[in-house]
Amino acid sequence: MKQLMSMLLPVMLMLSLANLAFAVDKPETKPTKPMYKKYYEGTIGKNLEVSMTLEIYKSEIRGSYRYKKHRKAIGLKGSLMPDGVSFELTESADNKVSGRFKGKFAKDYNELQGEWSGKQTLPFALAAAANIVMGKQKEYNIEYETVEFILPDKELSQRLNAQLKTSIASFYKEYIEFYEETKKDPQAAKDITTRWEFTLNVADINYFPNKIVSITYDNMVDTSGAHPSVAIITVNIGIGKDGLYSITPAMMFKKDSAYLKKIADIYVKTLNKEAEADGFDPYNDDDVKYLIEALKSSDKYKIQQGGIEIAYQRRHAEGTRFVQIPYDKIKTIIAPDGPLGLFIK
């Protein structure tokens, strides 16, 4: 009996501690899926152009917005009232409350208007330009978000949506091929059906009416290795007189401007200033070579109002490093008749 008690006491103690910890530090329950996830365009006041992305739950709203003249997104969090249309949102910048939105939704959450209060009080009005919807391929454990534009120009919306779906399919094409090849091994087949996973979530939308669409995704691929593979992928689409086209770095910059090297230099110089504080090694010559090679792909460039943002992952432990480069810093290498010419005229 004593031997049995000596074996049970540690277990009982661990269970008691676990129950105590649960009672003291019970995690806040969060809704897992929003009723709606939408991207809005509109104004605050008479002419402050803004874009906003909101996740709308039964009683909670989360998201962010940005002024079109600025690149920085401002976080939003608030409540949807019991009537299902009234809402209040608090905005936070640098961990400080900087303003509040109070208003109402209309037309199945495709419009919102009310008053913004900060240093002053101004009316706001926004309309949905796109829905962000979830897609699945259960056979391969794939979940992805796609942007479905709902612009006044329905034909343009259809063309944009079709091209975005094609882009998403290209992201998981290699994963599916690897999945099918691995499945041929009976032992491996058991593992991939339970552990393999591919997710793609919309991280940011930058829309410039009738000119450019730049959508950034967070991508995670888990194939049962030590760590999942994570990446930032951006799709840049130009809207031209002759139709849609994929924007490439060669289109954005002057042909003989050595733009890859110049952008890499700015990226490295910016990060190396932070290297010691962030605890990672400065970039060396080999790192710069790999970066220049990576910059040949358009998915490393997020096109924003005030500048481009470069997302690059050198080493897994460091994660993706972001550098925002104002157009003023690179205006001498931007092709004036290319997609970015819009921002330097």
Closest CA to 283 of 300, 299, 264: 264
Q: Yes or no: is domain 36-129 CATH 3.30.1330.180?
A: no
Q: How far apart are CA 164 and CA 175, in angstroms?
A: 18
d(CA 126, CA 54): 12
CA distances from 39 to 88, 148, 306 (A): 18, 10, 20
pLDDT value of residue 244: 96
What pTM value is reported for the model?
A: 0.85
pLDDT score, position 25: 38
Q: Mean pLDDT in the chain?
A: 88
Pick the CATH number of 141-246 from 3.30.565, 1.20.950, 1.20.120, 3.40.720: 3.30.565
To the nearest whole percent, how much of the chain has pLDDT over 90?
72
When pLDDT is cut at 50, 70 and 90, the band that residue 28 belongs to is very low
Beta bridge partners of 78: 61, 89
User: How does pLDDT run across 118-137, given as a tens digit for each residue?
Assistant: 989 999 999 999 999 999 99
**CA-based diameter of the chain, in Å?**
87
Task: List, for residues 60-113, the tens digit of each pLDDT value.
Answer: 999 999 998 877 889 999 999 999 999 999 998 777 888 999 999 999 999 999
Q: What is the mean pLDDT of residues 266-292?
A: 88
pLDDT at 14 (0 to 100):
36
Domain extents in the chain: 36-129, 141-246, 254-343
**Residues 35-45, mean pLDDT to the nearest whole number:** 96
pLDDT of 26 over the 90 cut: no
pLDDT over 60 (residue 1) = no
Q: Are 125 and 106 in contact (CB under 8 A)?
A: no
What's the mean pLDDT in 274-296? Answer: 88
pLDDT of residue 70: 77
